[in-house]
Every structure is written in C-alpha cells, then in structure tokens.
Amino acid sequence: GQYTIADGYAESLLADYSIATKDQYTSMYDDIDFTEVIFSLERAIGDSYDNQGTGGGGWAGSLFAFVDATSSGSPFMEMSRSVYNLLAETDDVRLTRNLNVDESTIDTSYQTNDNYLNDDVLLVFKYPGGAQPLLNDLKVFRASEMLLIRAEAAADADEYTEAAAFLNQLRNARYGSNQTPGYSFTTQEEAFGAILDERRLEFLFEGHRWVDLKRLGDRGGRGIERDLKENQNYPGDFGGDEIPNTDYRFTLPIPLSETTANGGITQ
C-alpha cells in the first residue's frame, strides 16, 4: 500500500529494463533473452536443483508434466478454459508462450461435448526446458511487473489516464501493435479490475494469482473465475463460475500436523 515509494522504485527500474517485444517475450522463457528480466534464479543441468522436480524448484515445467511439454510427455495439468477463452483468436504472444498450440487438442464445441475432458486438452508450454526438458530459469522480477506496479499506484491516486497508459503500453507490447480501443477508466474499480486482468495473463503459471486476488480482488471486483464446463467435475457447492474473495475457500486450511496434535482444533 505504500504506492508513492513503490512507484518511485518501479520508475527507476524501468529506466534500466525495457519491456520485451513479442519475440523477446517468447525467448525469455526459453532462457535466451533477458531484456526485461530484473532478477531470476538460474537453473542448469547438473546444479544442486537438477533432478529435483517441483520439490526443489529445479524443473518448473514438472508442475504440469512428468516427461516434457508435449502430448506424449505425460501431462497432468492444463491451462484453464477460462484463461484460454480470453486469449483465443488474439495476437497476444501470451497465448503461444503459455500454450503448446501444436500439441494441444482444442475442441471448439467443448461446451456441448460430454467427452471434453479427453477431446479438449490445453497443454502448458511456459517452461518447456532447453537442453533438459522442463528445466528453465525462474523469473522472479520483470520489467512488466514494474509497469503494473506503476499502474496500481496511478489507480490508487485516481490518475486513471496514467493507469490506462501503463496497461496499454504492456498490452500493446504483448500484441506487437497498438490495440484499439485501449484501456480507459473512470473509477478505481475499473482500473484495479483491468490491472488484475492483465496480471492474470502476464504472470500465468508463475504463482501470483491467489495473492493478487487477496490484495486487490475487492478493489477490482474480481474473484476466482472458472469455466462452467470445467466446474462440472468439482464436488460440492462450487457455486457456479466464480468464487468471491469473501468465500471461506480462499482461506488456507489448518495444517494436518496441527489438528493431529491438538484435537480441540476444528477446521
């Protein structure tokens, strides 16, 4: 919430780190281009994190597949349909960087297909690995996040034209051309909602979404959004296609070790 300080630091970093172009953005997750990478954790074959999979943060791609980022690579996690629908039929490079388009099976009639779980397979491609499948450097801070921090600071100060300009700069870079119409806001909720929408795509599969929604969900009118078809497989009262920030399921459960040690604790 210390937006004045945060905005100053973000502006300073953006003076030294440029926003990646479409080609640079793709190459960044192949560990080839570092234009907008401010800080990352190097992961290399034979280092102390190699062969540790998800447990040691070595093979980031093993969060989504056992062998490699292909249809025959034993994938077990997919891109959500709600995210894919936002990116489908656009020139946004975040689609082809996050989805293995060539290996995925995209069912345009998934909403009416009873076998869509097998016919609609959206394979994650953000961390395909280089010399070692699924092994990529972990990007911690990037210039794009600094731009989004500046957008937050502007929105908090009711400077909506400036907030929109920061978001449009990022969006235009990811599309490779100026997008019309661009963002424009008249309220804080509109601005923070758009910031959350861009963060959802920009940091897809990087572990930001839950924290982002807890931080800004109420200010931007956003919660967990899922495709209704996907939710058919969830047990219990998922509640349609969205979970608001006030839902109890947003709270992390008490660890089993604690409830086992103290029978007086109830979940």
Q: Is there a contact between 83 and 200 (Cβ–Cβ < 8 Å)? A: yes
Q: How far is CA 104 from CA 25, 118, 126, in A?
A: 21, 11, 13
243 has which bridge partners? 224
- Rounded to whole angstroms, the Cα distance separating 8 from 6 reads 5
Other C-beta atoms closer than 10 Å to the C-beta of 215 total 17
| The overall pTM is greater than 0.95 | no
- Residue 131 has what pLDDT? 80
Q: For residue 238, what pLDDT is reported?
A: 57
pLDDT of residue 233: 66
Instruction: Specify the pLDDT at position 234.
Output: 63
Strand-pair category, 242-243 with 138-142: unpaired
The pLDDT, as a whole number, for residue 159 is 98
Below-50 pLDDT ranges, the chain? none
